[in-house]
Amino acid sequence: MENLNYKEEIEKTQSENALEEIRIKYLGRKGIINKLFEEIKTLPQSLRKKKGQRINEIKSEIEKLIENRKQALEKTKKEEFFDETLPGKSYPKGSLHPLTYVIEEIVSIFQKIGFIRVSYPEVEWEYFSFEALNMPKGHPARDDFETFFIEANEHPKFGKMILSPHTSSGQNREMQRTKPPIRMINIAKTYRPNWDATHTPMFHQFEGLCIDKNINITHLKGTIDYFVKEFFGKERTIRLRPAHFQFTEPSFEIDVSCGLCFGKGEIHGKKCRVCKSGWLELAGAGMIHPNVLKMGGIDPSIYTGWAFGFGPERCMMMREEMKIDDIRILYSGDIRFLEQF
């Protein structure tokens, strides 16, 4: 038994097949090791145990030697070339319109603070877009909202049929639908007759409306500040400047600090190329005019509220990754634009 030559035999093998043959010769069902175990039965009882242990030792030694030799043989095998830098299997990759992502982001930001999204008519009566917003017939403020008119009979009470030039027409609709507390956002398509590199005849607007007891300017400021930090980044700040809108009093323009120069207006002594003076105009806002509340059937001596209006397109283009110089591309349906998102 002790003169078995397995060690030399294994180390001399040059192929996996030969190695397998050796394995069968020693460890196979009818191999040498099993034969040795058979022989134990012929020995006297007193020697059996010691012999058995010794055979087991040899068995594991052979197993180990074979395994080592196997690995050694594998190493010497010539390595096949495997290019990991090749691309993975390609899966279909569609796209959503970039505004879809922006709108979903806005909605989720406001959902977290309890605002619900609503939807109101895009084809509207003049009344909801103007009179209900404290802009009676002939008021010059109506000029600010150039409007598409529809060929249709006039409504005896609500006037002409139009394409809503802003989402603010939803203010009165929401006040008619429900009583305070109101926490609403309305994102919709809006229309005005302008078509050039910075205007499209259809665009989106995003309206926020909050009506309740004890709502004041600090709530408007806090809400917009929260939105700006969520949407543009924690380091951004807002400022309010005086403005005039017929449907709010007081009224504000809301600016957001420039993301490039952080509100300084200059970088290393040079004028910032993105903003005018450290700030970018973001939205119009204000405390809802008491006449607008009254027209919505809400008592302004009990309730107050704020409202704001943004352009999702503008919000999108104010982000670093979306520098678009001609806004018309958004609605061009060009696959080379769409597939990027």
In the bound state with other proteins, the residue whose beta carbon lies nearer, of 63 and 281, is 281
Query: Residue 248 phi/psi, 5° resolution?
Result: -135, 155
In whole angstroms, give the CA distance from residue 277 to residue 266.
8
In whole angstroms, give the CA distance from residue 306 to residue 17.
84
In whole angstroms, give the CA distance from residue 167 to residue 129.
8
Q: In the bound complex, what is the minimum distance in angstroms from residue 217's beta carbon to other proteins? A: 6
What DSSP character marks residue 78? P
In whole angstroms, give the CA distance from residue 309 to residue 146.
16
In the bound state with other proteins, the residue whose beta carbon lies nearer, of 222 and 297, is 222
In the bound state with other proteins, the residue whose beta carbon lies nearer, of 53 and 178, is 178
Q: In the bound complex, what is the minimum distance in angstroms from residue 136's beta carbon to other proteins? A: 12
Q: In the bound complex, what is the minimum distance in angstroms from residue 318's beta carbon to other proteins? A: 19
Q: In the bound complex, what is the minimum distance in angstroms from residue 207's beta carbon to other proteins? A: 14
Residues near 284 by Cβ (< 8 Å), separated by ≥ 6?
A: 243, 245, 251, 252, 253, 254, 308, 309
* Contact (Cβ atoms closer than 8 angstroms) between residue 186 and residue 273: no
In the bound state with other proteins, the residue whose beta carbon lies nearer, of 13 and 223, is 223
In the bound state with other proteins, the residue whose beta carbon lies nearer, of 66 and 228, is 228
Q: In the bound complex, what is the minimum distance in angstroms from residue 339's beta carbon to other proteins? A: 6
Residue 53 corresponds to which tokens in the numbers above? 């242990």
Query: Would you call 158 helix, strand, or coil by DSSP?
Result: coil
